[in-house]
Amino acid sequence: MKLFDLTGRTALVTGSSMGIGLGLARGLAQAGARLVINARNAKRLDEAADVLRRGGVMVETLPFDVTDAEAVRAAIDGYEAQTGPLHILVNNAGMQHRTPLEAFEPEDFDRLMRVNVNSVFYVGQAAARHMIGRGSGKIINIASVQARLARPGIAPYTASKGAVANLTRGMATDWAKYGLNCNAIAPGYFDTPLNAALVADPEFSAWLEKRTPAGRWGEVEELVGACIFLASDAASFVNGHTLFVDGGITASL
């Protein structure tokens, strides 16, 4: 359908060398977008690009550290000047650190916030400055069900994803008047490298299957439709929204 066609648009996905980021990048390309993938590790990024190319996807790489504001601006300004406009941004880069809150080290808290929150601001602002001048653009931030829920041992992560959801609302409030659509996706529990330890834990998987109305872990491909929707003209009047893709876990007790 034309509403969901991303042909002619360029999408940058941060943290896209594996997991959810790689899956979303592949999905956006299949919807017609020109793809730019990002990670801090250039070698891992090249390996991901090779995987995508073997699947018939045309992709460019843009390595930079999302927690370095100057590096972010240089990379995005450079791409815009030398290659062309970025029409879609998916702020996916993130990390997890599981430790009881009373034992959480300040440096680990700071690092988690830099990766999960600061990066959304840095990359979002750098891209938005160009989008504002064009009067259009799509920014999609990856939050989490932990923006609404909490579990033991991940309180700082929960705080960071709540911040992402609220920053998304702020982006929409400031930038919708310039033609930008700023929204978030909040994944539930997905089978990804970030959750590998939990997937491998039979006790946790049994609890999750019982707790989630859908009765299972999510598959990364099940996030693609939400991302394409928010990146497309079909979501032209959707702004400041966090779309939960979680098998119903936030809808039930």
Q: What is the pLDDT along the chain (253 residues), one digit of tens a residue?
A: 799 999 999 999 999 999 999 999 999 999 999 999 999 999 999 999 999 999 999 999 999 999 999 999 999 999 999 999 999 999 999 999 999 999 999 999 999 999 999 999 999 999 999 999 999 999 999 999 999 999 999 999 999 999 999 999 999 999 999 999 999 999 999 999 888 889 999 999 999 999 999 999 999 999 999 999 999 999 999 999 999 999 999 999 8
In contact, 190 and 18? CB cutoff 8 Å:
no
> Radius of gyration of the chain from Cα atoms?
17
- Check if CATH label 3.40.50.300 holds for domain 2-246: no
Question: For position 238, what pLDDT does the model report?
Answer: 98
Question: For position 197, what pLDDT does the model report?
Answer: 87
Task: Based on the residue annotation, tell me whether 157 is a catalytic residue of this protein.
Answer: yes
CA angle 67, 92, 58 (to 5 degrees): 110
Amino acid sitting at position 156: P
Domain boundaries, the chain: 2-246
Catalytic residue among 79, 122, 157, 189: 157
Give the β-pairing of 88-91 and 34-37: unpaired
Question: For position 194, what pLDDT does the model report?
Answer: 80
